[in-house]
Amino acid sequence: MYLTDFEFNGKRLSDFGSIPCVINSSTGANEISMGADITWNTVKNNHSFNTSLVSSEYQDQYSLDAFEFCKNPCGDNHYYSDLEIRQIMRWLNREKFGKFKPIYKDGEVSDVYYVGSFNVKAISLGGDCIGFSVTFQSNSPYGFGKLCSYDFELNANEQVYIDCDSDRYGYLYPLVQITCKQDGIVSFINSNTKERPTLNNCKNGEIITFNGNTRIVTSSMESSHEYMYKDFSNVFPKIFCDEDNTENIISCSLPCDMHIEFTPVRKRGVF
């Protein structure tokens, strides 16, 4: 497996005429601090190993587990200009987290991505910048796969099936959106869980959104559903996966249109 490129916040390393590499220190090249190292202050979400970004600040810190990149040797110029250095710093060294996706030869592991940001050091030889050493800080101990998205038109208590191929056994908290087709009690049912997320006093045409990441429930009729948080069971929908069972049987107590989306875990490092 061979890393040939990477994408971060919609741009690729190759867009900057660069490729991943290993720069031999015996050549006399030195790492130079760019003076903009960031510390990301995070808080762990309930029932999840993921963290949310609370704030960020600039500090002088040393980082480990760096990887390097340089100009593509097929090009005419092997040094980075001052403008190119600034462009790379703007791209990678951000206070907010972005999506980082490694790209390998022949498209191997093409569905895995990570969320975080970079600290960056320039590599200098003879007073010129010949490359960069970068350290990526993720918001999670693992990566993520391609978004799984499902749409169903359900009768009351009609069952549908969702398969979860997450690399982490246990529960994922999806985003679930339910558009009610009659008045009554919305109860989300998964055969793999004992708890039933429930919202009372729902109306025909009301759109209920259970956001698993933020643990917030919202309604398209919040002005008329004024006691929504008293009506809510404070239990959120779950998707389950373990070694012997990846199938989730889903139903709803009311006829509805249901949208479900979640991102499976990928326990996969960057090579």
187 Cβ neighbours under 8 A, 6+ residues apart = 196, 197, 198, 252, 253
pLDDT at 61 over 90: no
CB 240 within 8 A of CB 125: no
Residue with tokens 């978004």: 147
pLDDT at 155 over 90: yes
CB 227 within 8 A of CB 201: yes
How far CA 169 is from CA of 166, 241, 267, in Å, comes to: 7, 5, 11
Query: If pLDDT is split at 50, 70 and 90, which confidence band does 249 have?
Result: very high
3-state secondary structure of 88: helix
3-state secondary structure of 85: helix
How far CA 109 is from CA of 13, 49, 268, in Å, comes to: 18, 22, 9
Residue with tokens 């403008």: 83
Average pLDDT over residues 208-235: 90
How far, in Å, CA of 227 to CA of 221, rounded?
11
The CA dihedral of 29, 35, 41, 42, to the nearest 10 degrees, is -40
Q: Tokens standing for 147?
A: 């978004």
pLDDT digit string, tens, across residues 77-120: 889 999 999 999 999 998 888 999 988 887 665 778 988 889 89
pLDDT digit string, tens, across residues 25-35: 555 555 544 43
Our measurement of the distance from residue 163's CA atom to the centroid of its chain's CA atoms, rounded to an integer in Å, reads 20
pLDDT at 152 over 70: yes
- Is the model more confident about 216 or about 60? 216
Average pLDDT over residues 119-134: 91
pLDDT digit string, tens, across residues 187-208: 999 998 888 999 999 999 999 9
CB 169 within 8 A of CB 243: yes
Average pLDDT for the chain: 85
Beta strands (DSSP E) in 183-252 are 184-190, 198-202, 207-211, 216-219, 239-241, 247-252
pLDDT digit string, tens, across residues 4-20: 899 999 999 999 999 88
68 burial type by CB count under 10 A (0-12 exposed, 13-18 middle, 19+ buried):
middle
265 burial type by CB count under 10 A (0-12 exposed, 13-18 middle, 19+ buried):
buried
Q: Tokens standing for 99?
A: 């999506």
Query: If pLDDT is split at 50, 70 and 90, which confidence band does 127 have?
Result: confident
Q: What is the pLDDT of residue 177?
A: 97
Stretch among 48-52, 69-73, 130-134, 223-227 having the lowest mean pLDDT: 48-52
Q: What is the pLDDT of residue 126?
A: 85
Stretch among 32-36, 54-58, 172-176 having the lowest mean pLDDT: 32-36
CB 100 within 8 A of CB 116: yes
Q: Tokens standing for 246?
A: 């990846």
The CA dihedral of 84, 89, 91, 94, to the nearest 10 degrees, is -170
What angle is formed at CA 39 by the lines to CA 36 and CA 42, rounded to 5 degrees?
150
Q: What is the pLDDT of residue 222?
A: 82
CB 132 within 8 A of CB 123: yes
How far, in Å, CA of 128 to CA of 142, rounded?
36
Q: What is the pLDDT of residue 237?
A: 95
